Structure 1
């Protein structure tokens, strides 16, 4: 039986990948030390997802390892010799990174290097898939001429009518500290492919989402937005009139592309992976969609100050992916994504309320 090693296995993409490949008959090993709870506090805790994987995936093995621990990473890849590695672990917030630059860089850049070098030494035939980010482009997409519509920004140039391609420059722009650490990791993943011949790729994710996201204000756009709506919390819009646009891709479709790459790997590739133009929405449009599903008005405040390095409009051009992997396509549309997240948060909140009632009566 093939062995898959997944870092960040308790997170959104990591857990989806674990489940997807377990269903394909792989033996799954997950690396996660719940660092998200350290970064974001109790609301970012992912232990519930770890327990879910342990209960639902037969033979799932959890490894409590920090990817910054070079010796531990060398040891696990030496002993396991996985047939493929999917690296999703990261410090994921570009806002938080500025206050913890060493933790951010050591997790995102050095942790990735630890994994790459261990793979080169002990599992050189294993495809290595790295979850990168569209933040590697910095704020350069904001320099593209745009048009302002009633509820969103969009690109004015025909060259970008289907989104940002992989040929877009990552240089001479403001990335945020997070974006810079992810650039370092992205380039190293490419270099281990081109220089050492490892089968590597960087998936430059757009808005990755799904029902198993522990969404918080600093990371997890749709998940956190839905949670705010259901709980009656105030959502903060940061600049751009709330018209900033993102393309949203379900974690299942991310796992499907990873599967395609493992079946037919390449060396040092990069792919812009998002929902594409058809799965775009602005914050204002997201408010309307979630309110139509919950019948609850969105409560929000507007801060006329955008986040540093944030995109005014970003969606992924999927042409390269579809050329290299014609069997892959987006299968979960925006309506499905919103409905599923609303249902997941509704169930969680109902369960939490039940637990509180039980506590108060015991």
Structure 2
């Protein structure tokens, strides 16, 4: 029996990985206590997704309602499966840099201490397993905002010929920058994952992600940019742009493409704490103004948009991931979905549900 233990298993990336690796024949142990509801209210709850997974996968999926901050409970769950655990995908998190400032101790407890509990449980019970961590591009703080950018009609864009013209690589410094408290807690976790890989020669990897999305995301204003924007377009709910003239750029990647990335690393893991930037890269990126235009076209109606001059602290003006390192290690992986594909899927799969609610 080969077990994949997945934290945040009811969330967007977690649930995608549950179904992906179950389809490969693995048994799945999911850990999720619906903290997203605590962070974002009823609209952010993932309970519906847990029920869907349990109904669809039956005995292949065992759900554990546990808090990753609870060291004893995490140790107990790992002990239940022991060396049968061959893969750990850690997606559980407090995911919003806006929310983190409300309760820094809870944010750090979930993001940093929870990650440490998982790494220690792995070292004790299944040290030869593969550990995959969904980190964030916020570990680079606001350093990307120092890049030479040019203002275009609908977006900011980096100057041609710059070191990062094809996207920001793992060489960017994480020092001397404002991370936001969320970025700081995720960076602490990121460094722990690297260190367990290097110090103990374990098979760990940090994926520093841009905008992760898909039609099953419970998008809210503070987290889930693309999903929430499309929801506003479909329902007529007002949408607020925060700063940078709405020309800030994000790269966007679908949850199914991410699951395939994780599979590639799991199939050919590397020891020593690898770090990869992961997002849509140059093939899949969009500004807020461009996304609004796309969403209006898809929904067939104009959006109600307001603008606030106050950008979010530490928010990136332009962030596009350089996927070169991962692609050089795993040349067989190819991204299959563009921003337009993703937004159309989000709209088509959710429009009826959104109208009912």
Q: What's the TM-score bracket when you normalise by the shorter of the two chains?
A: over 0.9
Q: Does 1:46 align with 2:62?
A: no
Work out the CA distance in 1 between the residues paired with 2:57 and 2:257: 20
The residue that corresponds to 2:349 in the other structure is 344
**Residue aligned with 1:160, SS:** coil
Unaligned runs of 5+ in 2: none
Does 2:90 correspond to 1:112? no
Q: CA deviation at 1:335?
A: 1.9
C-alpha distance in structure 1 between counterparts of 2:141 and 2:147, whole Å: 13
Partner in structure 2 of residue 16 of structure 1: 16
3-state secondary structure, aligned to 2:5: strand
Runs of 4+ in 1 over 3 A off after TM superposition: none
**Residue equivalent to 1:195:** 199
Deviation at 1:277, TM superposition (A): 1.2
Output the CA distance in 2 between the equivalents of 1:191 and 1:154.
Answer: 35
Q: Deviation per CA, 1:211-261, whole angstroms, max 9, x where unpaired?
A: 110000000000000111111111111100000000000000100010011
Deviations, residues 177-235 of structure 1 (Å, cap 9, x unaligned): 00000000000000000001110000101000001100000000000001111111111
2:308 match: 303
Distance in 2 (CA, whole Å) between partners of 1:317 and 1:348 is 36
> Is the CA contact 1:229–1:291 (under 8 Å) kept in the aligned structure 2?
yes
Per the alignment, residue 314 of structure 1 pairs with 319
Distance apart, 1:58 and its partner CA: 3.2
**Contact 1:87–1:131, Cα closer than 8 Å, also in 2:** yes
Partner of 2:63: 62
SS in 2 for 1:201: strand
| Cα shift readout 1:141-184 (whole Å, capped 9, x = no counterpart) | 00011011000001115211110001111111000000000000
TM-score normalised by L of structure 2: 0.97
Q: Is the 8 A contact 1:145 1:157 kept in 2?
A: no
Asked if the contact 1:226/1:345 (under 8 Å) is kept, the reply is no
Name the structure 2 match of 1:165: 169
Q: CA deviation at 1:332?
A: 1.1
The root-mean-square deviation of aligned C-alpha atoms, in Å, is 0.9
Equivalent residue number for residue 207 of structure 1: 211
Match for residue 139 of structure 1 among 115, 131, 142: 142
Q: Secondary structure of 1:95's partner?
A: helix
> 2:227 aligns to what SS in structure 1?
helix
2: CA distance between counterparts of 1:53 and 1:118?
A: 25
Q: What is the aligned partner in structure 2 of residue 78 from structure 1? A: 79
The Cα of 1:345 is off from its aligned counterpart by: 2.0
Question: 1:335 and 1:180 mapped to 2: Cα distance?
Answer: 32
Q: Distance in 2 between matches of 1:172 and 1:348?
A: 45
- Residue matched to 2:330: 325
Instruction: Give 3-state SS (helix, strand or coil) of 1:99's partner.
Output: coil
What's the CA shift for 1:140?
A: 0.1
Residue 356 of structure 1 corresponds to none
- Distance in structure 2 (CA, Å) of the matches to 1:58 and 1:154: 48
TM-score by length of 1: 0.96
Whether 1:248 and 2:227 are equivalent positions in the alignment is no
In structure 2, the residue corresponding to 1:58 is in which secondary structure?
Answer: helix
Whole-Å Cα distance in 2 between the matches of residues 320 and 171 of structure 1? 21
Aligned equivalents of 1:64 and 1:222: distance in 2?
A: 28
Separation (CA, whole Å) in 1 of partners of 2:354 and 2:135 = 31
SS of structure 1 residue aligned to 2:101: helix
